[in-house]
């Protein structure tokens, strides 16, 4: 069995091995990396030798780290790189580190373009033309984004939204309505291979795909936890919600919006459900802001996103990427023909 992994910005790691009685045998580690002392190569080989063939990425990487002599220097690769190559040799596809993630932070676009980009980038991942991707959004204008199956008139006061310059669009995923303004939320999308969640039901996959985000929030001092089915919450209340769609081509779209600092008065003026929830809670005034990320961290929004990006990279890897001209063009067409159309918006009146 043969596996290769080219470290992003680093060197190539090559692994050849056999499997006998469910365990890894006859391991050969090679590549164009640098390693001192040279004898440490035997440490790496011995650490992998005898591991169960079903060992996870984390278990393999931990074994390599534990097996290295204290003075070993790995240059251009790492224990994690060896683990990826071993997993690939074993035919394993299913762990975060089995993929070369790309992270996109692009300029603000219209609400319809954001929804179109979600569809295009997910389909590009499904087709194998794009690596698995994490994308952070920047909102160009205030908007209401309703779920795929919500009634437009039941959720949105269209007259109030129009008067306040708030655009309304409908996304392809289920769930509830969101109100966003530039700088008021942290929104991100994951475009992941279906193999990453192949053995999970929808409920389990929600928490799994956002575990890194919770870790980032915890590192910022928020006692964040996942509240089934799709809420990111804390002891001080809800922070955000997730939605998901699995495409037939084999990709998962998973996106999340978390409140950073939101104008609650404006929100309940345009969202009918907002008024009902406030009434149920006995709230008489919505003048105060909804600001869980800002108030609980005391940090600028950009710093929260930076910590999230760093946490993702430390846990799962990833390099900066960009949306291609071809992807933008495809998204513009879908935004115009689908997500900006009255037919799509009003297909559930």
Torsions phi, psi for 342 (to 5 deg): -65, -35
Exposed / middle / buried, residue 253 (Cβ in 10 Å: 0-12, 13-18, 19+) = buried
Which of the residue ranges 29-33, 263-267, 283-287 has the most confident prediction, judged by mean pLDDT? 29-33
Exposed / middle / buried, residue 235 (Cβ in 10 Å: 0-12, 13-18, 19+) = exposed
What CA–CA distance (Å, rounded) separates 141 from 133?
Answer: 24
pLDDT over 80 (residue 61)? yes
Element (H, E) at 274: helix 272-280
Residue the block writes with tokens 């001092």: 221
Element (H, E) at 264: helix 264-270
pLDDT of res. 276: 55
pLDDT of res. 287: 43
For residue range 297-336, what is the model confidence (pLDDT) as tens digits? Answer: 999 999 999 999 999 999 899 999 999 999 999 999 999 9
Per-residue pLDDT, averaged over 173-183, amounts to: 95
Take residue 13 and report the two structure tokens written for it.
């790691």
What CA–CA distance (Å, rounded) separates 97 from 317?
Answer: 7
For residue range 151-174, what is the model confidence (pLDDT) as tens digits? Answer: 999 999 999 999 999 999 999 999
When computed from its CA atoms, the radius of gyration of the chain, rounded to whole angstroms, is 23
Count of CA atoms in the C-beta half-sphere (13 A) of 237: 9
Take residue 27 and report the two structure tokens written for it.
């391991």
- 284 — pLDDT class (breaks 50, 70, 90): very low
pLDDT of res. 260: 97
Distance from the first to the final alpha carbon of the chain: 56
Count of CA atoms in the C-beta half-sphere (13 A) of 194: 12
pLDDT over 60 (residue 122)? yes
Take residue 90 and report the two structure tokens written for it.
């074993």
Question: From edge to edge, which strands make up the β-sheet containing 178-180?
Answer: 167-170, 143-146, 178-180
């Amino acid at each position: 069995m043969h596996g290769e992994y080219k470290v992003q910005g680093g060197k190539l790691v090559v692994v050849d091995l056999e499997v006998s009685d469910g365990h890894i045998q006859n391991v050969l580690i090679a590549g164009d990396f640098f390693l001192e002392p040279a004898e440490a190569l035997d440490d790496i080989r011995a650490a992998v030798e005898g591991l169960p063939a079903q060992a996870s990425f984390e278990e393999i990487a931990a074994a390599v780290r534990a097996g290295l002599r204290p003075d070993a220097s790995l240059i251009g690769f790492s224990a994690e790189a060896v683990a990826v190559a071993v997993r690939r040799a074993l035919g394993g596809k299913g762990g975060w580190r089995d993929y070369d993630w790309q992270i996109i932070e692009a300029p603000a676009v219209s609400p319809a373009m954001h929804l179109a980009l979600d569809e295009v980038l997910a389909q590009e991942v499904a087709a194998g033309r794009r690596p698995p991707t994490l994308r952070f959004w920047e909102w160009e204008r205030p908007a209401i984004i309703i779920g795929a199956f919500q009634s437009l008139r039941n959720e949105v006061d269209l007259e109030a939204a129009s008067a306040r310059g708030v655009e309304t669009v409908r996304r392809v995923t289920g769930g509830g309505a969101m109100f966003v303004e530039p700088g008021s939320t942290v929104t991100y999308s994951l475009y992941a291979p279906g193999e990453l969640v192949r053995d999970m039901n929808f409920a389990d996959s929600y928490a799994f795909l956002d575990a890194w985000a919770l870790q980032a929030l915890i590192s910022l001092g928020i006692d964040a936890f996942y509240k089934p089915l799709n809420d990111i919450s804390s002891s001080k209340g809800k922070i955000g919600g997730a939605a998901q769609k699995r495409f037939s081509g084999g990709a998962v779209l998973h996106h999340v919006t978390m409140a950073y600092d939101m104008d609650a008065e404006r929100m309940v003026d345009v969202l009918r459900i907002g008024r009902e929830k406030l009434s149920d809670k006995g709230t008489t005034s919505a003048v105060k802001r909804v600001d869980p990320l800002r108030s609980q961290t005391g940090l600028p929004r950009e710093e929260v996103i930076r910590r999230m990006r760093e946490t993702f990279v430390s846990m799962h890897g990833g390099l900066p990427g960009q949306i291609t001209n071809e992807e933008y063009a495809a998204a513009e067409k879908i935004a115009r023909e689908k997500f900006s159309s009255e037919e799509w918006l009003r297909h559930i009146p």
